[in-house]
Amino acid sequence: MKNMKFLWILVVGLVTTLPATHAQDLKKSAGKFVINLGDSKVNWTGKKPGGAHEGFVSLASGELKVDNNEIKGGSFVIDLTSIVNTDLKDEGTNAKLVGHLKSADFFDVEKFPTARFEITKVTKLNGSAATGTPKSTHKIDGDLTMKGITKKVSFDASVNILNGKLTAASLPFTIDRTQWGVNYQSKSVFAELKDKFIDDEIALTVDLVTK
């Protein structure tokens, strides 16, 4: 009993002497799922007449706010310097395309190395309300900031929480790149391009896995 009493006094003493900043950090971390950067990514597909290219970009950071096993908010940062192409097998051609995507013609990663998605609303879907497929469990609305421009984006996703691990996989959705100032060979911006244009719409899927 004496040992137990001493241990209790020691624990209480440690808690009451914990610096205020550390106490706040502990409070902040409650209800948050940190994104596993190695298992999470954003997949992309860009099209043009007669062809398409696809690949993915990695995440730089991110976390999801969860309450009662439901996503309530969160954000993630996309590392645009990590652009990868997966369909071109020739290394030289692949590197040329990736270099062009990173250039000022497209995402200008030297000036804008990251993009950010901030969740603003999460709506739970039930079978018939889900768009596209019964596997959609939630509609996620948010703000996507890229090249210094913020626009609203929404997509449906399948969200699961199992054994303390959260996964969120979006259905394919599209964004209009010109809304973020990515105008290279856009037919809507340069009408004279005829059949030498690149589609304005980029198809995306988001795969998030937490630690």
CA distances from 1 to 5, 11, 13, 157 (A): 6, 15, 18, 53
Confidence of residue 137 (pLDDT cuts 50, 70, 90): very high
Asked whether the predicted pLDDT for residue 14 surpasses 90, the reply is no
List the chain domain ranges: 35-209
pLDDT at residue 152, rounded to an integer: 98
Total residues belonging to the chain: 211
**What are the tokens at 49?**
């007449």
Q: Are 170 and 194 in contact (CB under 8 A)?
A: no
The Cβ of residue 177 has, within 10 Å, a number of other Cβ atoms equal to 21
- Could you tell me the CATH superfamily of domain 35-209? Lipid/polyisoprenoid-binding, YceI-like (2.40.128.110)
Percentage of residues of the chain with pLDDT beyond 90: 66
Phi, psi (5° rounding) for residue 174?
-125, 150
Comparing C-alpha atoms, which of 48, 66, 46 is closest to residue 56?
46
DSSP state of 18: S
The pLDDT tens digits for 44-96 are 999 988 899 999 999 999 999 999 888 999 999 999 999 999 999 999 999 99
